[in-house]
Homo-oligomer: A and B are copies of this chain.
Amino acid sequence: MAEPLIVEVTRGPVVESRHEVDLVVTDATGRIADAWGLPDRMVLARSALKPIQALPLITTGTAAATSIDTRELALACASHAGEPQHLAVVTAWLERQGRHPRQLECGAHRPLHVPAADDMVRSGLEPTALHNNCSGKHTGFLAVCGHEGLDPQGYIAADHPLQRDHVTPAIEDLCRASLTGLEPAVDGCGIPVWPITLLQLATGWGQLSRRGAGQEILAAMARHPDLVAGTGRSCTRLMERAAGDAVVKTGAEGVYCGVDMRSGQSFALKVRDGAARAAEATAAWVLDRWAAIEHAAPLQLTNWAGRPVGEVKIAHP
């Protein structure tokens, strides 16, 4: 179908805003099972690619050689909220490598979890790279550099051996994409972000569930939903509700991916305008269709006085 999926934002009797979503679902063989909009649309997968970018931790032998545990693997795939449990894992993992937070090249931002950010304000502390939602992924990058004997400096560049010989080939392999000759954009945390099609992205997620290394990554995410995002956030809530039946990961600008661990079906979606609320509503709707969660109700919107004023819902699937 060429028509995108529509997510409506209502306010009282009115549809106030609407979002168009490209969504592709693949079956266990990687073929398209269902599609809305354009499966061949080029997208930047952003953080929805983290589980694939974490694969070199397994495939290089880094995880086995340095006793990386499931918490650390989950953090390597996380867009974490900077809560104490996230910082504890990243800090300890970095120390075990003999690395310093200064070596993380992701930049600093305050914790996404507001109470954690408030704690920093009260303590008079400035955010560091540890608080960046991508610090787990970057700590994983440093771990691979260490195991492979690579000078980590500049590890975020597309032509650094880490990206060139490990991370980018993992994307090409799982997503069945040829990235040679393409110009990458730059992600929020500084690493290259390659344009791939939505179908290639869904294919990559399906492949995760069919490879030993991918299964190890997905199992770690399923085991620690709270480490992949944080308190009250979409990925954490959906994976808690799915209780191991599905693994999901969102990305900036309205990307969301997931895989049904029982059937091997996978999905990838991109909201054309980049809105997270529409991506989250659609991901919940897909998991509901898979019966990986029970009844994904529309998101209720309330105003500042707590009065219900509208909702975010799938319009006409």
Residues of chain A touching chain B, judged by Cβ–Cβ distance below 8 Å, are 9, 11-14, 16-20, 42-44, 105-109, 118, 121-122, 132, 183-190, 193, 195, 253-254, 271-275, 278, 303-307, 309-310
Query: Are B310 and A185 within 8 A (Cβ)?
Result: yes
Residues of chain B within 8 A of A118, CB atoms compared: 121
Q: Are B185 and A14 in contact (CB under 8 A)?
A: yes
* B185, A305: Cβ atoms closer than 8 Å: no
In the complex the two chains form, what is the Cα distance from A106 to B304 in whole Å? 7
Q: How far is the CB of A149 from chain B (nearest CB, A)?
A: 26
Contact yes or no, B189 A303, CB < 8 A = yes
Q: Do B17 and A185 touch across chains, with their CB atoms under 8 A apart? A: no
Each complex incorporates copies of this chain amounting to 2
Distance, CA A254 to CA B42, complexed state (A): 26
Question: A9-B253, A184-B12, A185-B12 are known contacts. Are A305 and B275 too (CB-CB below 8 A)?
Answer: no
Q: For A12, what are the chain B residues with a Cβ–Cβ distance below 8 Å?
A: 183-186, 193
| 25 residue pairs A–B, Cβ–Cβ below 8 Å | A11-B186, A12-B183, A12-B186, A13-B185, A14-B42, A14-B44, A16-B43, A16-B44, A17-B271, A106-B304, A107-B303, A108-B304, A109-B304, A118-B121, A121-B121, A121-B122, A122-B122, A132-B304, A187-B303, A189-B303, A189-B304, A189-B305, A190-B305, A272-B273, A273-B273
